[in-house]
Structure 1
Amino acid sequence: MAMDESVVVPGIALGADWVDDVLLAGPAADVCLRLPEVIDRGKLRTLVQQRQKELAQAGFRAGGAVALRLPPSVAFVTHLLAVWRSGGQAILLDHRLTDYEVRRAIERLVPQVVVSADRPVPAGLRTFHDVGADLASYSGHPANTAHAVVQLSSGSTGPSKVIGRTAEDLVEEINRYTRIDGVPTKNERLILLPSMVHVLGLVGGLLYCLHAGVELVPPARLTGDAIVHAIAAETTPATVLGVPFHIGLLASVQQPPWLPQFKRMTTGGELVPQAVSDAFEQKYGVPLGNMYGMTEVGVIGTDLFGRHRPAIRPAPGIDVRVVDGELQIARKESPYLGLSDPARWSDGWLRTRDAGVVDPETGLVSIKGRLDSQVSVGGLKVDLTEVEYTLGTLRGVEAAVVVFDGSITAYLQLHERRETTRLEAELSQRLASYKRPRTLHVLDQLPRTTTGKLVRDLTVLRKAVS
């Protein structure tokens, strides 16, 4: 359902209206979270009110900021909603960040309270954690800006950026999701694989589900079998939301059971090669949808039925244009905290740094890869995205990253043993010589960001090899 236009979306200092009206409204008995503990709306509202009192006792005041260094958990969900309901700004810090990274972020953003897990968060394959919260008073300063949420970008191509979004912006995106054909609706389930700390899991998962009356179900563990178990646990329709990395987990299930309730899987992040999508759809008998977005603006375009792959349709309310081959998104204000960088945002347009094409007849958008993926080799233009894609079509290649390091260099992760000489021979049949990597590095595991994106930073890749 679309949000009623009469809903008032205040600034962070004006309190609880948008949280109550957009996220927490509905019958008390309606189930909203299965963790596997079942939490209905009545219980969630009670927990949020308790968290508000605890935050106030720790020194948090309306107009202030709270840093949440929590894994996906009931503690994270309830403290996030409590901060917003109290008229505050939530600074989301992935619990996997180092102490040094967290310290730098806190020193820059100056929260009034820092909320951390009350015990060490075990490493491993859990998507949701059972932790309590430790609240520490930090400062008496108000928030630096009027944004409702502050996030750090994933940093897949360089240092993280600090991004802010207002309550109005979040509600606009939630409303955008309600108008996308193919999203789960009331009395359905969303099996959530990405972290709630990042934009896909936060808005596309947690906030949309709370608003639309969709049950949010993180699987017990991040494995193919656990995901299948979560789908099969109830008879209501289920959509899986993940990133391309998660397709491999489901593909690893040798003989999945018949899952009539499995409606579709939707992936965000990198584009999925046609061969991978075909194999997934054949194995599970459901469409593999695609979603494209950015932390700065949320969902930009979708193809939830897999009809237009690799193209996508702009999400409702999104204005897209292409300038000098770069995809740009209309946005009234810069999303970046601090001085606005005209190389990223200017005159109401956000520069994605992605190469793209908009079909003038259909309006469909095709993402052609990062602009910085185009390099010159001997005076000839090479699109590293094309090289990556071609490597991904070779037998045994699970993932590939191609960079220009004085010459074209490829980093591969294999799911079966292959000699590099055989891979090079097969590649020679598919790419011109000037496009082929001069060096192939095979790694047990390619470096990934906390959101599951492949890291393309040269320093990190070289370190992984060494």
Structure 2
Amino acid sequence: MDEILFAGRSTDICLRLPEPIDRATLHQLVTTAQGRLVAAGLRPGGAAALRLPPSLAYVVNLLATWRAGAQAILLDHRLTDHEVDRALVRLTPQVVVAPIRSGSGALRIFVDVTEGVTPYADSPAVSGHAVIQLSSGSTGPSKVIGRTAADLVAEVRRYTQIDGVALPGERIILLPSMVHVLGLVGGLLYGLHAGVELVPPQRLSGDAVLAAIAADATPATVLGVPFHIGLLASTRPAGPLPQLRRMTTGGELVPAAVARAFTDRYGVPLGNMYGMTEVGVIGTDLHGSHRPSIAPAPGIEVRESGGELWVSCPASPYVGLSDPTRWADGWLHTRDAGTVDPDTGLVTVRGRLDSQVSVGGMKVDLTEVETTVAELPGVAAAVVVWDDAITAYVQPDGPLSEETLDKLLAERLAGYKRPRVLRLLDQLPRTTTGKLVRSTDALRSAATS
């Protein structure tokens, strides 16, 4: 992938953190990191697990892993030790890269990290993919997602054909995490390939984002998720921002009122991008002219089957046991409800068909949360639903308090996955055949009776 990621002049600035990092400096850092990884036991055909927050260290070790001919396993730094240990046991990386020092506050988008490399297992990668990403529910057989180098290169090139993306010589104000597909491919990899400068703001605040936009005269595109739209829509700029060209958002659907508040305040398009970890970008509307619909990205075919959106995907993206209800015969079953206009080809996403919800731009699978709750000591049964927040209804098996339950969950689930509401019931409602009832109305009624 060197021809994709290391093209351009050596003096071109590719990252600003806020100190500028040019391509020559990045290349040197990657070469040094590659030496450390190899010395720790990383070999071609092996894997390195990166448990790093968004940082220069993350970028350098990711690129170094690929240059070493190895697979990169991306672990969100917010995962608990319990979640990480389960992933490592399954994926058996040769080395693990994690912070030994971090000198930044919680609201920093890019942090200052000194990393350490630890040998883990003397075994090849579990698959031939270039990158492994863990979607929510990653402990299940169909939640470990792999993408090949060819697939990543094809998606980066797909971005270059999308009308409205940042152009060479421009900037991307990068807000989403590069552990996940939007920040990884739409931000980091596309930016390195296209000669677009990546500028993470100093802090996660509306004022900091505006300051990053205003810091240079070159055109800027803000890349984020709906949470970031609300952040900017509630922040009043101190003066004109002629550099701001548009904001592009991925993740869940954007409420019309939020979109209007943003465009009214800034007077620039609010673009929409629809994608999945399994295939990357699926469709876009970067000019905001088709809202809430999107046009399929170049080379992507979308069809509607029984009210569900299917996306062309030649090979199963899942590592290990594959789920035919998620991928079959060259088609990814998105479990998103939607329609495809037969005349224009425009795709309208109606929402999730399955148990995935979005919390602050992060996908959470309620099935994973429910399984974790049900496996806790002292729990006889559990149902987890979305009721304005992640809500767990729990039937104890003996003495159990909400405080104890919350403490146990904090050891097993990342903060954004944990239930915000815990309700203990003597008996969970069940159907006549003994199945747990999942109706929120029935569960609320049982909790108050």
Establish whether TM, by shorter chain, passes 0.5: yes
CA change 1:325–1:463 in 2 (3 A) is: same
CA shift digits 1:156-211 (9 cap, x unpaired): 9x998110000000001101100000000100000000001111000000000000
Q: Is the 8 A contact 1:198 1:451 kept in 2?
A: no
State the Cα distance separating 1:340 from its structure 2 match.
1.2
State the Cα distance separating 1:262 from its structure 2 match.
0.3
CA change 1:372–1:221 in 2 (3 A) is: same
Q: Is the 8 A contact 2:11 2:24 kept in 1?
A: yes
State the Cα distance separating 1:463 from its structure 2 match.
3.2
Moved more, 160-169 or 359-368: 160-169
- Size of the alignment, in residue pairs? 382
Q: Is the 8 A contact 2:142 2:322 kept in 1?
A: no
CA change 1:256–1:364 in 2 (3 A) is: farther
CA shift digits 1:407-427 (9 cap, x unpaired): 9974279xxxxxxxxxxxxxx
Q: Is the 8 A contact 2:41 2:94 kept in 1?
A: yes
Q: Is the 8 A contact 1:296 1:335 kept in 2?
A: yes
Match for residue 111 of structure 2? 129
User: Residues of 2 paired with 1:371 and 1:252: CA distance?
Assistant: 31
Match for residue 47 of structure 1? 29
Q: TM-score, normalised by structure 1?
A: 0.77
Aligned counterpart for 2:339 among listed residues 357, 363, 371: 357
User: Residues of 2 paired with 1:149 and 1:464: CA distance?
Assistant: 39
Match for residue 422 of structure 2? 463
State the Cα distance separating 1:37 from its structure 2 match.
1.4
**Is it true that 1:162 corresponds to 2:162 in the alignment?**
no
User: Residues of 1 paired with 2:110 and 2:125: CA distance?
Assistant: 29
CA shift digits 1:287-344 (9 cap, x unpaired): 1110000000000010001000000000001011111111001111111110111011
State the Cα distance separating 1:123 from its structure 2 match.
5.7
Letter in 2 for 1:463: L
Moved more, 181-190 or 116-125: 116-125
Match for residue 440 of structure 2? none
CA shift digits 1:35-54 (9 cap, x unpaired): 11110001111111111111
User: Residues of 1 paired with 2:420 and 2:334: CA distance?
Assistant: 23
Aligned counterpart for 2:197 among listed residues 215, 236, 242: 215
Report the secondary structure of 2:189's partner residue: helix
CA change 1:80–1:412 in 2 (3 A) is: closer
Letter in 1 for 2:146: G
Aligned counterpart for 1:253 among listed residues 217, 232, 235: 235
Match for residue 176 of structure 1? 158
**Is it true that 1:308 corresponds to 2:290 in the alignment?**
yes
User: Residues of 2 paired with 1:247 and 1:464: CA distance?
Assistant: 32
Q: Is the 8 A contact 2:141 2:321 kept in 1?
A: no
Aligned counterpart for 1:185 among listed residues 154, 159, 167: 167
Q: Is the 8 A contact 2:141 2:319 kept in 1?
A: no
State the Cα distance separating 1:94 from its structure 2 match.
0.8
CA change 1:409–1:102 in 2 (3 A) is: closer
Q: Is the 8 A contact 2:309 2:337 kept in 1?
A: yes
User: Residues of 1 paired with 2:104 and 2:318: CA distance?
Assistant: 32
Match for residue 393 of structure 2? none
Letter in 2 for 1:78: V
Letter in 2 for 1:266: T
Report the secondary structure of 2:421's partner residue: helix
Q: TM-score, normalised by structure 2?
A: 0.80
User: Residues of 2 paired with 1:406 and 1:152: CA distance?
Assistant: 23
Match for residue 30 of structure 1? 12
CA shift digits 1:113-170 (9 cap, x unpaired): 00001125756211101111101011211111100000101459x9981100000000
- Matched ranges for 1:16-95 at <5 A: 18=1, 20-95=2-77
State the Cα distance separating 1:256 from its structure 2 match.
4.0
Match for residue 340 of structure 1? 322
Letter in 2 for 1:138: Y
Report the secondary structure of 2:179's partner residue: coil
Letter in 2 for 1:245: F
Letter in 2 for 1:223: S
State the Cα distance separating 1:372 from its structure 2 match.
3.8
Report the secondary structure of 1:275's partner residue: helix
State the Cα distance separating 1:461 from its structure 2 match.
4.4
Q: Is the 8 A contact 1:195 1:451 kept in 2?
A: no
Q: Is the 8 A contact 2:295 2:345 kept in 1?
A: yes
User: Residues of 1 paired with 2:40 and 2:352: CA distance?
Assistant: 44
Q: Is the 8 A contact 1:288 1:304 kept in 2?
A: yes
Match for residue 263 of structure 2? 281
Match for residue 411 of structure 1? 388
Letter in 2 for 1:232: A
Percent of counterpart pairs with the same letter? 64
Letter in 2 for 1:318: I
CA change 1:406–1:116 in 2 (3 A) is: closer
Report the secondary structure of 1:355's partner residue: strand
Q: Is the 8 A contact 1:153 1:160 kept in 2?
A: no
Q: Is the 8 A contact 1:185 1:212 kept in 2?
A: yes
Q: Is the 8 A contact 1:148 1:165 kept in 2?
A: yes
The two structures, once aligned, show a CA RMSD in angstroms of: 2.9
Q: Is the 8 A contact 1:174 1:204 kept in 2?
A: yes
Gaps of at least 5 residues in structure 1 are 1-17, 374-383, 389-400, 414-446
Q: Is the 8 A contact 1:154 1:451 kept in 2?
A: no
CA change 1:464–1:94 in 2 (3 A) is: farther
Report the secondary structure of 2:419's partner residue: helix
